[in-house]
């Protein structure tokens, strides 16, 4: 009965910890995620990118998230191999520093965090305050989960099971190492895994040597998480991920061998075991960062392991996902239709991403490629119309018909968004280059911010298209309102600069205002994916007019 109670409390504390870490990461991504691409792809040397990756991992609460971000930008050619690896190694260091922060005993702050976070998340309407509340609540839940974990471990300490396991693992550090790797991989969070081990070691339930082996294994396990999550990414992305596995895995095994076979006295006197374990974790990741000069030597080897595919293999987005053989089945044909709309959304991401780069440096060849992507979107829409007309309407239920119409409507919206890029934004970028005008620094920052949010909303819209998630759908509608405010604020700020006599603002006035408005309109098309979901759930009004209005007051 003791074992069952222990496992129940252990699993409960573990899943609360995982949920809390994810909650904090979600809040930060929704609040600041739109700026990550600009920050990561800025023209910086690898040595400057290491602290950037460190800060980003602390912010995102996940080194795996930083790895996937850097790998994704490497796949798109936004950054090269060595800078991407520098960001990843900095992220690993940031993850270890985060554990130091979260391992502090500040349980007295839990009621404060719950109160402040609850008020912000539940009682405010502003998106930034709501996400701040989500982050604060997540931190409170992390502290609560760690307290539950300590309470779960204490009763089992007095039994014979945990001491027996400790003796076995102490005699077999390699098993403890692979146990840590499996723990981090299964939990999909090295932060949660290491926090759990540190808590157990702090209570004296496991000796320091076993905890050290498990933590070193967790470092390998956290490097393997992006391998699994990024298995379908392009070869350039997988090479960055594999470089992290090679560097961290080799360093972890060498460190384990040193702790096992060299006469090293650990933990050091003056530090309690849990804090010593955190210090070891930080020191290990700092040593791995110093291995960055080895990364260029790995690139040729990794190119042999993950070679670049031929150009025709790298462009599956131009192959239709519509399955003509599925037309006799409503379920299969709807799935095929959804995949094709997702393909259109992926092409729109590629079409929209380099727009602000064109405003900085107009390139004719890049524009030609963008026009080809837009042609692919137009072709896909034509195919979707024909496919939906050929679907077995007689055998489809009403919900299936509604789903089909919603997918076709969103395909039309994506095509309209693509037209805004090619027919309005690209000509505006060409006009700016031809006239030689420049945006003011605040004006460029405003347009870049709007563009980043539109890209982030497109990613959220793609997720909604896959999952029908109501919360994400509501977020999109909230973002539409925020986009309207951003466009208005940018227009007001621009007019103030004109009044103040900014020369650049005068020269670029028309282009600035039209660009901001076009991006807002493009965003309006993107968020329409949320309309049928919210309408179906009764969370979208038919009219924005105030109810029971007095007509006499209108005239």
pLDDT value at residue 242: 93
DSSP per position, 32-85: HGGGHHHHHTSS--HHHHHHHHHHHHHHHT-HHHHHHHHHHHHHTTSS-HHHHH
Banded pLDDT at 553 (limits 50, 70, 90): very low
Residue range 439-496, pLDDT digits in tens: 888 888 888 888 888 888 888 888 888 777 787 888 888 888 888 888 888 888 888 8
For residues 103 and 145, the answer to whether their CB atoms sit within 8 Å is no
Residue range 85-136, pLDDT digits in tens: 998 999 899 888 988 887 776 677 788 888 998 898 888 877 678 878 888 8
pLDDT value at residue 548: 53
For residues 107 and 143, the answer to whether their CB atoms sit within 8 Å is yes
Q: Is the pLDDT of residue 307 over 60?
A: yes
What is the 3-class SS of 161-223, one letter each residue? HHHHHHHHHHHCHHHHHHHHHHHHHHHCCHHHHHHHHHHHHHCCCCCHHHHHHHHHHHHHHHH
Banded pLDDT at 247 (limits 50, 70, 90): very high
For residues 85 and 124, the answer to whether their CB atoms sit within 8 Å is no
Say which DSSP state 542 is in.
Answer: S
Banded pLDDT at 538 (limits 50, 70, 90): confident
Residue range 212-244, pLDDT digits in tens: 999 999 999 989 988 887 777 788 888 999 999
Quote the CA–CA distance of 86 and 49 in Å, as a whole number. 6
Q: Is the pLDDT of residue 544 over 60?
A: no
Banded pLDDT at 35 (limits 50, 70, 90): low
pLDDT, mean over the chain: 81
pLDDT value at residue 270: 64
User: What percentage of the chain reaches a pLDDT higher than 70?
Assistant: 84
Q: Is the pLDDT of residue 433 over 90?
A: no
pLDDT value at residue 477: 84
Quote the CA–CA distance of 136 and 121 in Å, as a whole number. 9
pLDDT value at residue 156: 56
Q: What is the pTM of this model?
A: 0.63
Q: Let me know how long the chain is.
A: 555
Sequence-distant (6+) residues with CB within 8 A of 392 are 327, 328, 329, 330, 333
pLDDT value at residue 554: 38
* Low-confidence winner among 86-90, 319-323, 390-394 (lowest mean pLDDT): 319-323
Average of per-residue pLDDT across 519-547: 77
Alpha helix locations (H) across 501-527?
Answer: 503-507, 509-526
Quote the CA–CA distance of 135 and 139 in Å, as a whole number. 6
Residue range 261-271, pLDDT digits in tens: 877 666 666 67
Closest to 280 in 3D by CA, of 247, 307, 258, 310: 258
Banded pLDDT at 327 (limits 50, 70, 90): confident
Structure-block tokens of residue 467: 């999952």
CA distances to 40, 67, 73, 86, 538 from 80, rounded to whole Å, are: 11, 14, 8, 10, 47
Residue range 64-92, pLDDT digits in tens: 778 877 887 787 666 788 988 998 999 89
244 HSE (CA, 13 A, CB side)? 34
Averaging pLDDT over each range in 143-147, 185-189, 207-211, 543-547, which range is the top one?
Answer: 207-211
Structure-block tokens of residue 98: 């985060």
Where b means 16+ CB within 10 Å and e means fewer, 518-541 reads: bbbebbbbbbbbbbbbbebeeeee
């Amino acid at each position: 009965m003791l074992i069952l109670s222990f496992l129940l409390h252990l699993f409960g504390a573990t899943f609360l910890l995982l949920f809390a870490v994810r909650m904090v990461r979600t809040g930060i991504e929704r609040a600041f995620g739109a700026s990550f691409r600009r920050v990561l792809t800025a023209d910086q040397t690898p040595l400057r990118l290491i602290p950037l990756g460190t800060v980003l991992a602390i912010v995102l609460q996940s080194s795996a998230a930083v790895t996937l971000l850097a790998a994704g930008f490497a796949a798109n050619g936004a950054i090269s191999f060595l800078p991407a690896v520098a960001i990843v190694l900095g992220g690993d260091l940031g993850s270890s520093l985060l554990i130091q922060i979260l391992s502090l005993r500040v349980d007295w702050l839990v009621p404060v965090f719950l109160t402040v976070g609850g008020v912000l998340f539940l009682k405010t309407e502003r998106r930034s305050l709501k996400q701040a509340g989500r982050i604060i609540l997540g931190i409170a839940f992390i502290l609560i989960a760690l307290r539950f974990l300590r309470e779960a471990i204490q009763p089992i300490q007095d039994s014979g099971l945990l001491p027996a396991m400790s003796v076995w693992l102490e005699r077999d550090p390699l098993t403890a190492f692979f146990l840590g790797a499996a723990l981090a991989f299964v939990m999909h969070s090295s932060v949660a895994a290491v926090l759990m081990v540190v808590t157990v070691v702090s209570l004296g339930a496991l000796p320091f040597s076993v905890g050290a082996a498990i933590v070193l294994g967790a470092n390998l396990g956290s490097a393997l998480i992006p391998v699994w999550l990024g298995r379908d990414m392009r070869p350039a992305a997988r090479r960055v991920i594999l470089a992290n596995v090679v560097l961290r895995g080799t360093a972890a095994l060498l460190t384990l061998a040193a702790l096992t076979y060299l006469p090293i006295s650990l933990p050091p006197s003056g530090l309690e075991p849990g804090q010593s374990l955190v210090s070891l974790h930080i020191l290990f990741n700092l040593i791995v960062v110093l291995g960055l000069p080895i990364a260029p030597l790995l690139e040729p080897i990794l190119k042999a392991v993950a070679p670049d595919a031929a150009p025709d293999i790298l462009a599956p987005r131009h192959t239709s996902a519509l399955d003509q053989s599925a037309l006799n089945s409503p379920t299969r044909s709807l799935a095929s239709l959804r995949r094709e709309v997702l393909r259109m959304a992926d092409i729109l991401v590629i079409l929209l991403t380099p727009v602000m780069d064109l405003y900085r440096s107009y390139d004719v060849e890049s524009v030609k490629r963008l026009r080809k992507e837009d042609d692919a979107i137009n072709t896909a829409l034509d195919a979707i119309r024909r496919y939906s007309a050929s679907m077995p309407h007689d055998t489809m239920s009403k919900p299936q018909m509604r789903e089909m119409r919603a997918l076709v409507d969103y395909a039309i919206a994506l095509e309209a968004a693509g037209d805004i890029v090619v027919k309005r934004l690209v000509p505006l970028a060409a006009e700016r280059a031809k006239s030689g005008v420049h945006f003011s620094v605040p004006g460029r920052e405003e347009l870049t911010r709007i563009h980043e949010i539109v890209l982030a909303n497109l990613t959220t819209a793609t997720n909604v298209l896959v999952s029908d998630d109501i919360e994400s759908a509501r977020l999109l509608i909230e973002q539409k309102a925020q986009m309207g405010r951003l466009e208005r604020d940018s227009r007001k700020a621009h007019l103030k600069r004109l009044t103040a006599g900014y020369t650049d603002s005068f020269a670029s006035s028309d282009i600035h205002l039209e660009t901001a408005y076009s991006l807002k309109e493009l965003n309006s098309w993107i968020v329409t994916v949320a309309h049928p979901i919210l309408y179906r759930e009764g969370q979208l009004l038919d009219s924005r007019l105030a109810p029971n209005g007095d007509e006499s007051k209108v005239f």
